[in-house]
Chain A
Amino acid sequence: MRLFTLCVILLIAGEMSGLQPAWIFPLLFIIIFPGFILSLFSWWKASEEDEDLPFMGY
């Protein structure tokens, strides 16, 4: 998650600053973006270890 986030931030920063060649962003972003999305969702999804909230009744 941290690695993908770092890569995405670096790519966006590089594109916005104009320091990196124009072809780098599309090429790397297409590879990194799916990993970023899936790792982001994996990071915040509900844990598999914790129990569900018990049913409290009425």
Chain B
Amino acid sequence: MIELIAAGTIIGLLFHGIHRKVIARVQGRPGPPVWQEILHTLKFSFKETWIPKTASNPLFVFIVAVELAIWTGAIVIVGYGGSLLMLFAVFMLHKIVEHGLGLSSGSPYGKFGAIRSVMSAASEIPLFATIGGIYLITRTLNINEIVAWQQVHGWLIIPALPLAFAMYLVILSKMHYGPFSITKAKEIVSGVLTEHFGIYRAGLDVAFAMKTFVLIWAFVLIFFGALPWWLMLIAMLIVLLSLSFVCAFTPMLSPYDTVAFQAVVSGILIIYIFIIGVSL
């Protein structure tokens, strides 16, 4: 398991670097080297760090530890083939951490980011739709059993394409520089991350790297089944590249458009689930 957590961190940071590189190349810029995010994290970890006067000290530090803990837990859950519900509970906790990050700093920009995080809770509804739909098709929420189901029935993405789209949208909503990244938008400096710098930002970078790794890994595992590790990495890279292309071509939506878009997609999915629920 330790090798998985270490690999998740390094691959996640590399994925963030590749994400930035692809966006830059699509937009006609040279972009940073792909290992930039690893250097970035190390740079932050070496920096002198203090806590702003306006911050709530215990929460300011503790929330970083919570973010690290929940995504370590997510790697453990997927690694052991645990329940999909547990993975998505982690996702809910991440939302609370986002609120905590923004509110703990005392910065108005952080608070705006936290408020946007509350507003964009609509992005979690496609997540429930994914869980419900997967259960209706496979009759299980255990990741190991979903993988086993695919060995008998083939890729889950074929009968559950709209559910894959919903989960893809959820992952997209958590990607940096994406159309739904309103909690960290530049017009509010860095949103929920504004005041977290130095070792706290480095800790958050490690947690976000694990988040990107585990979400894409879970996506491939749930919709394409178990693959040899090298094929899994290639599949994850392809999913990441597609996300990067979407991020590069799409401008950041306003908070209201973000919520409206996600709510419409959720509505369509709920109708779809009703239909498959009746037909199965």
Contact = CB atoms under 8 A, between A and B. Distances in A.
Contact of A31 (B46, B48, B69): B69
Determine the main DSSP class of B at the interface with A.
helix
A34 B203 contact: yes
B106 interface: no
A6 interface: no
Shortest 7 CB-CB contacts between residues of A and residues of B = A34-B68, A41-B199, A34-B65, A41-B45, A46-B48, A26-B76, A30-B73
B68 A45 contact: no
A6 B61 CA distance: 22
Contacts of B66: 34
Interface of A: 11-12, 15, 25-26, 29-31, 33-35, 37-38, 40-42, 44-48
A41 B202 contact: yes
A15 B1 contact: yes
A6 to B, nearest CB: 15
16 contacts: A12-B2, A15-B1, A29-B1, A29-B2, A30-B69, A30-B73, A30-B76, A31-B69, A33-B5, A33-B68, A34-B65, A37-B68, A37-B206, A45-B46, A45-B199, A46-B48
Contacts of A46: 46-48
B69 A45 contact: no
A21 to B, nearest CB: 13
A50 B76 CA distance: 40
Given A45-B49, A48-B50, A33 B72 contact: yes
A40 B76 CA distance: 22
Contacts of A11: 2
A2 B206 CA distance: 21
B48 A47 contact: yes
A40 B47 CA distance: 13
Contact of B199 (A30, A33, A35, A38): A38
Given A12-B2, A33-B69, A38 B203 contact: yes
Contacts of B46: 44-46
B72 A42 contact: no
B64 interface: yes
B76 A29 contact: yes
